[in-house]
Amino acid sequence: MVRGTHRYPPIDGVIYGIPLAEALETEVKRLDAGAVYVMASGTLNRETRLIDDVRDVLGNRLAGVCAKIGAHTPRIDVVAAANEARAAGADTILTVGGGSVTDAAKMVGLCLGNDVSDPDQLDRFATIVHGDGRIERPQTQPPGARAICVPTTLSAGEFNSAAGCTDTIKHRKQLYHHPLLMPRTIILDPAVTIHTPEWLLLSTGIRALDHAVEDYCSLHPTPFSDGMCLQALRLLSRGLPAVKKDPGNLDARLDCQLGSWMSIMGTQNGVTKGASHGIGHVLGGTANVPHGYTSCVMLPHVLRFNEPVNGERQKHIAEAMGRPDLPAADAVAALIAALGLPGTLRDVGMTQDLMDPVAEGSMHDRWVHTNPRKIDGPATVRRLLEAAW
């Protein structure tokens, strides 16, 4: 008999298919937000009217705008934004952007709640994963301000309680946790994603697909996450090619957003992931590979590596993707190729000299230690990297 406990995350709600301006006005009033600090993609701020529209909705509730967050959420950018938000008396953070901006908002909340005003102070709150998989999570106070998130990509990081932040001096991505790092509200408006570059939207869609695949193949799945993952695979497998074919198809974009949301539900209840995520985290922080691309280049190879131990589950993945005639790894690789996304580490700019640092660093990521097929050490990770080369 299956046994477990499902816990609902501390998110008030997800608003989908409603235009941003309408949804934001309602939420700001509901939350009685008095000083909203906006964190936005620099490109959106410079090249579109979207952030101007947000300013118009917020009016005198606007506490400031930060549009200077670099890729992989550099901690120097995070602390600068936190210091500005603190000086402005911000009580709410609003994000309009991709995963780096979303993580930055979580980190700003952490900084405000833990009196962090210098980047080096963040070390004391970072999760430590030892080479043997043992995890240490320092005590962390609740965030000083929570967020309303308007994602423009499909990575779904806004739905979890973790934040990644990069020490650009040591070229190391660190992980931070607190249950209330999750936003209060998430607004999924497909029209907002029109401004996102095609490569970024589609590759983060593969990142969401990676969530669903690794959660469904997890050592610790749940009945709830199994259902959500399979539906996520259906929505993403039809939505991503439809967006590629017709970028103006808002229904397809919403399919992708809903699939992204469903892909992350297991993470909210402790479903463990595998090596595609674990190695991907290190490829991002060490080799500067965008998150979506890490899934494009690693997921098929991790599936092939794991097939001897979870082949039956992998058949369900291929079926949900509409390709029951193919092994799951080939179905995923075919979708990546059809979307015009990179399939090798060479394609994403990684160099051979980073093979060993990435392999060794991956053993300090928790998801490598929960891969369905045991990974004994850096040599095994290196073989996976060589397969993806």
pLDDT digits (tens, 9 = 90+) for 229-286: 999 999 999 999 999 999 999 999 999 999 999 999 998 888 999 999 999 999 987 8
> To the nearest whole percent, how much of the chain has pLDDT over 90?
87
> What is the Cα–Cα distance from 229 to 233, expressed in whole angstroms?
6
> What is the Cα–Cα distance from 128 to 113, expressed in whole angstroms?
20
> To the nearest whole percent, how much of the chain has pLDDT over 70?
100
- pLDDT of 131 strictly over 80: no
> What is the Cα–Cα distance from 166 to 117, expressed in whole angstroms?
16
Give the 3-state secondary structure of residue 193: helix
pLDDT digits (tens, 9 = 90+) for 56-85: 999 999 999 999 999 889 999 999 999 999
Mean predicted confidence (pLDDT) in 204-216: 98
Tell me yes or no: is domain 13-190 CATH 3.30.70.1520.
Answer: no
| Token reading at 250 | 């808002």
Look up tokens 């690789």; give the residue.
333
pLDDT at residue 323, rounded to an integer: 97
pLDDT at residue 330, rounded to an integer: 98
> What is the Cα–Cα distance from 40 to 278, expressed in whole angstroms?
27
Q: Which letter does DSSP use for residue 141 in this model? A: P
Range with the poorest average pLDDT among 117-121, 135-139, 204-208? 135-139
**H or E stretch including 16?**
strand 13-16
pLDDT band with cut points at 50, 70 and 90 for residue 227: very high
- pLDDT of 145 strictly over 90: yes
Q: Which residue has the higher pLDDT, 170 or 229?
A: 229
| Token reading at 312 | 């039956």
pLDDT at residue 16, rounded to an integer: 98
pLDDT at residue 116, rounded to an integer: 97
- pLDDT of 288 strictly over 90: no
> What is the Cα–Cα distance from 137 to 128, expressed in whole angstroms?
7
> What is the Cα–Cα distance from 158 to 283, expressed in whole angstroms?
21
**Same topology for domains 13-190 and 197-388, yes or no?**
no
* Phi/psi-derived region of residue 177, left when phi > 0, alpha when psi is between -120 and 50, beta in every other case: beta
pLDDT digits (tens, 9 = 90+) for 79-102: 999 999 999 999 999 999 998 999
Residue spans of the domains in the chain: they are 13-190, 197-388
State the CATH architecture for 197-388: Up-down Bundle (1.20)
pLDDT digits (tens, 9 = 90+) for 307-353: 999 999 999 999 999 999 999 999 999 999 999 999 999 999 999 99
Mean pLDDT of the chain: 95
Q: Pairing mode, if any, of strands 92-97 and 13-16?
A: unpaired
